[in-house]
Structure 1
């Protein structure tokens, strides 16, 4: 490997100089790389020499652009048979966020400053901290795939994440703040009003969400075969994604059995008699369609219900009927102010279930220990449960404890 100065004259008569690193890579192919400054050439030569000895060096000319590497990555994602929702998220991150800013860059030439500039561009474009983090995770997975293909020798995203440690997540938590009763989590009074107001085909679904904490995807994929009315238990073995495709729960911890209170069981007994059945595509000897009782909360055809239908036609009207609303800037045809539900999504009910699990019995809760709460919520780790809900667990009376300790110490 040599570093030498090259001088030449342009057709216009201008004299120019540059520094060239002349070396042979691990495959025995001669490579030339040009730099404006000698210190840049020396730095590259020192790094390349170590990488060649380690068998990890990839010349820029042997690499591809981020956009090209992204196509290879998505092809491997499809071949791996990942869940359709996950594959769609990867494709969206690549098409909407990564390619517009980094698509033409050589993947082997990505540096920490380039990644930091990319982050700044995403934030300036209005991406949330959570979205920026997800995009970087996708970019890191893309680069890892390219690294395995020999298109780059390092994963710069891992270098960035390793340097920062957990600072990004801590910053995101500070930005998001703790879940608050009456803001993110419905109060007991609001839940009581909702239970009294919800009716019709949405009542069994919403009551099950309130008192079991199942995710919306788990409710949409719940089968009657997993509802044990005699043992008062609901088993979670599958879920429906946003494309209405049935798949496994989010993690192995998502597979669980959750006890259900009498109000849920009794409502489900009644609903089972009226629940729409799914046509199997077959007909009996008399030509009648053969129907089966499959999903617990299907649409009118017995198939997976759309999430937006549950929210817009079921949950929101129930909140409004319960009087749990906020004012909007809109007015109706009669000049009355339009009210909107205070809680917009199904996840608020899941948050309430968690708070119900941890609250003291004298406050109407179950007073369950953290590990049991984790199991019932289907969280992958106890850390996830505690990070999200630790502030809801009852605290000891520290003032009395301090007074007793003082008395014991000072007599």
Structure 2
């Protein structure tokens, strides 16, 4: 391996010079890497790095690698080969098409600067959440490329490792903690919501509030997964955004959840009145209806198929919030100049947040007072760290004012 200065004259008589790193790669092929005249330090640094990589058998020359776009296509093919969910594959395709390829698609993997890519996404108006997701996808592309021997390092992972703790703390501070009345419905709001529920959305939303199921788990729930006598729900499957049934989100997602009487009674009433039309009709032209069977979806749509998430939110949750008076003003005004009101919580995950807080709060405050590990299991989180990071601040402390006063009296008499 050598670093030398090369000078030459172009056909037009122009003298040029460059620094050239001359080396043999892991396959025994001679390689030349050229640097501009003022980049001797970079040339020497590359030579040192390449020497180690060649010795360890992990070096990939620029001509032996591929562009980010090509590596991204390989990444998608890997996901399809691993039979990932269609929603996951589609998300990969969207990230590659709209957020990665337009900016660095033609860049060789060895030339990618993730920090510059991040800055470009921000300058192009991508949200902080989208920037984070796109960077994560880029890191996954590099991980797949490393397995294919098209790259030797993952610069996204290296960038994240080098981030200072101060930056991480600032990001966490900006994100903030979940707050009651902002992210989590309060007890009064839930009381009002429960009182306003009726019709086909009542059993579904009660199950969301008092069992904490994810939207996909609610949409995939079958009658055979509910034991009304034992008062419990067993989560065994979920429905993705395309209505396809599959296993829970993670191994921990498969769980058994006890349910309170209000949910038991609502599901029992729903089951008694549950029937769905099938394609056959009787002599009078009326649809022949089939009683609930174990394999039937509990919260199916009118055709007996998986209900869409959008319908649950737009036709179930939002109208219920408006009816219950759980609302906030918008920037729009009506004919009288008064602000038009909107549902305060427009996503089902707010009900899941309430369920977690209900599990955590002390019985004196209307909660169950369960320990962290049990909360993790009920929520179906893959790790206790996830539960602690999201909801840890909601757990009551053991040194509140009353207990401190009692301790003081005991100590001082």
1:148, 1:342 → 2: CA distance? 47
Partner of 2:56: 54
Moved more, 165-174 or 95-104: 165-174
Cα 1:179–1:254, aligned 2, differ >3 Å: closer, same or farther? same
1:278, 1:372 → 2: CA distance? 40
Cα 1:16–1:159, aligned 2, differ >3 Å: closer, same or farther? same
Shift of residue 258, structure 1, vs aligned partner: 0.5
2:409, 2:323 → 1: CA distance? 55
**Alignment TM-score, normalising by the size of structure 2:** 0.91
Partner of 2:8: 8
Shift of residue 123, structure 1, vs aligned partner: 2.1
1:407, 1:312 → 2: CA distance? 55
2:126, 2:353 → 1: CA distance? 25
Cα 1:355–1:400, aligned 2, differ >3 Å: closer, same or farther? closer
Cα 1:167–1:86, aligned 2, differ >3 Å: closer, same or farther? farther
Partner of 1:34: 34
1:137, 1:13 → 2: CA distance? 49
**Alignment TM-score, normalising by the size of structure 1:** 0.91
Cα 1:353–1:19, aligned 2, differ >3 Å: closer, same or farther? same
Cα 1:208–1:147, aligned 2, differ >3 Å: closer, same or farther? same
Alignment check: 8 A CA contact 1:275 1:297 kept: no
SS of equivalent to 2:12? coil
2:328, 2:364 → 1: CA distance? 30
SS of equivalent to 1:353? helix
Cα 1:365–1:107, aligned 2, differ >3 Å: closer, same or farther? same
Partner of 1:74: 76
1:363, 1:69 → 2: CA distance? 54
Partner of 2:197: 198
Partner of 1:129: 128
Does 2:227 match 1:228? yes
Shift of residue 142, structure 1, vs aligned partner: 0.7
1:235, 1:171 → 2: CA distance? 40
SS of equivalent to 1:144? helix
Moved more, 53-62 or 333-342: 333-342
Shift of residue 5, structure 1, vs aligned partner: 1.8
Cα 1:405–1:257, aligned 2, differ >3 Å: closer, same or farther? closer
2:331, 2:135 → 1: CA distance? 37
Moved more, 289-298 or 50-59: 289-298
Shift of residue 133, structure 1, vs aligned partner: 2.3
2:308, 2:32 → 1: CA distance? 58
2:322, 2:172 → 1: CA distance? 31
Partner of 2:383: 381
Moved more, 154-163 or 340-349: 154-163
Partner of 1:149: 148
Partner of 1:216: 215
1:290, 1:267 → 2: CA distance? 21
Moved more, 327-336 or 144-153: 327-336
Shift of residue 165, structure 1, vs aligned partner: 6.9
2:236, 2:171 → 1: CA distance? 32
Moved more, 127-136 or 78-87: 127-136
Cα RMSD over matched residues?
2.5
* 1:253-301 residue CA offsets vs partner (Å, 9 max, x unmatched): 111111111111111111113334375x8999xx987956410101001
* 1:186-215 residue CA offsets vs partner (Å, 9 max, x unmatched): 111111111111111100100111111111
2:390, 2:264 → 1: CA distance? 29
> Which ranges of structure 2 fall in alignment gaps of 5 or more residues?
none
For residue 108 of structure 2, the aligned residue among 106, 109, 131 is 106
1:404, 1:223 → 2: CA distance? 50
Alignment check: 8 A CA contact 1:218 1:236 kept: yes
1:109, 1:325 → 2: CA distance? 51
Shift of residue 172, structure 1, vs aligned partner: 3.4
SS of equivalent to 1:366? coil
Cα 1:245–1:318, aligned 2, differ >3 Å: closer, same or farther? same
Cα 1:185–1:28, aligned 2, differ >3 Å: closer, same or farther? same
1:282, 1:78 → 2: CA distance? 38
* 1:196-254 residue CA offsets vs partner (Å, 9 max, x unmatched): 11111100100111111111111011111101111111011111111111111111111
Moved more, 201-210 or 241-250: 241-250
Partner of 1:338: 340
2:330, 2:412 → 1: CA distance? 59
2:156, 2:298 → 1: CA distance? 44
Partner of 1:319: 321
